[in-house]
Amino acid sequence: MIVVFGSINLDLIFSLPHIPRSGETVLGPSTRIEPGGKGANQAVAAARDGARVAMVGSVGRDALADGALVLLRGAGVDLTRVQAVGANTGCAAISVDPSGENAIAVGSGANLSTHADQAEDALLGPDTTLVLQMEVPAEASAALIRRARVAGSRVVLNLAPASALPEDALRAVDVLVVNETEGGWLAADLRCGASAVELSDRLGGLSVVLTRGSEGADIASRDGAWHEPAVAIQPVDTTAAGDCFVGVLAHRLDLGASLQAAVRRATAAAALCCMRPGSQGSIPTVAETDAFVAG
């Protein structure tokens, strides 16, 4: 099964003629309100791809919480380990331009109250794939990674947004997913090159997936290195593409697929996600991805 330890937000999405620059106000025709958060998005992506998923996170005791959880519930994600706390539910303001590119500001709120003890030991084990991002406290993520390693779980870490983790926790990860910005930040922090191969070598040979948007992804592991090309599409909104990629990747690995096969499936799902507006609502179902792959 998939256990996602991460953020749960409500997203305010603004369609704008261009991303605002410093000091600039930009008027757009519309605003959408959708559930989001990297953790929740990845949980929905895995569940819609057919996985059994448990979400570990936090929301506020406020009017935003139900909206933030609605698509997780709809996807059948187990929410028994989502706690309600006194802080506000996390909220993100997302600006999207006509090319589908975005800029995001996040008020973390309740996500900062998420802690590793919300995931009990029985949840971790050889049959579990643990998925993490960096929108909850880093020390909590590091603690859970260490516990998962001892328990024999597979660990997939999306180092997004780029944030510091102790090197022993990084080395306990099975698959590290970063984009070019995050990979560059991590390379500077580790004082190594920013390619997938160099990051993998520096971290003891763990598998690294370096996503490059429309240029596809570079992958390095103990089995070698290769490039996975992107699917040629006309993007509408890239907001949830990275999270869709991670959730589907984790599910396919959990099913026993090779890293290469899992990356290929995740690439197709993320491409389909980009062809729709929105965040969680744009993530495809397993049937939709199957049809897209079949052509």
pLDDT at 278 over 90: no
Among candidate residues 174, 218, 243, 254, the one labeled active-site is 243
146-157, pLDDT tens digit by residue? 999 999 999 999
Whether 66 is catalytic is no
The residue-averaged pLDDT of 267-283 equals 94
Give the DSSP letter string of 162-218: -----HHHHHT-SEEEEEHHHHHHHHHHHTS-SSHHHHHHHTTS-EEEEE-GGG-EE
Q: What is the mean pLDDT of the chain?
A: 96
The reported pLDDT for the residue numbered 239 is: 86
Please report, in angstroms and rounded to a whole number, the separation of the first and last CA atoms in the chain: 29
pLDDT at 118 over 90: yes
182-201, pLDDT tens digit by residue? 999 999 999 999 999 999 99
Task: Band the pLDDT of 220: cuts 50, 70, 90.
Answer: very high
The residue-averaged pLDDT of 187-216 equals 97
Taking the C-alpha atoms of residue 118 and residue 57, their distance in angstroms, rounded to an integer, is 8
Taking the C-alpha atoms of residue 69 and residue 72, their distance in angstroms, rounded to an integer, is 5
At 244, is the secondary structure helix, strand, or coil?
helix
Contact 4, 55 (CB under 8 A): yes
Q: Which has the closest alpha carbon to 7: 141, 102, 127, 98? A: 141
30-77, pLDDT tens digit by residue? 898 999 999 999 999 999 999 999 999 999 999 999 999 999 999 999
The residue-averaged pLDDT of 207-220 equals 97
Contact 225, 209 (CB under 8 A): no
Q: Provide the strand spans (E) within the chain.
A: 2-5, 9-15, 30-36, 53-60, 78-85, 90-96, 102-107, 129-132, 154-158, 175-179, 207-211, 217-221, 224-228
97-117, pLDDT tens digit by residue? 998 888 989 999 999 999 999
Contact 258, 264 (CB under 8 A): no
Contact 130, 153 (CB under 8 A): yes
The reported pLDDT for the residue numbered 144 is: 99
Return the CATH number of the domain spanning residue range 2-8+38-86+112-294.
Answer: 3.40.1190.20
At 43, is the secondary structure helix, strand, or coil?
helix
pLDDT at 237 over 90: no
| pTM confidence score | 0.94
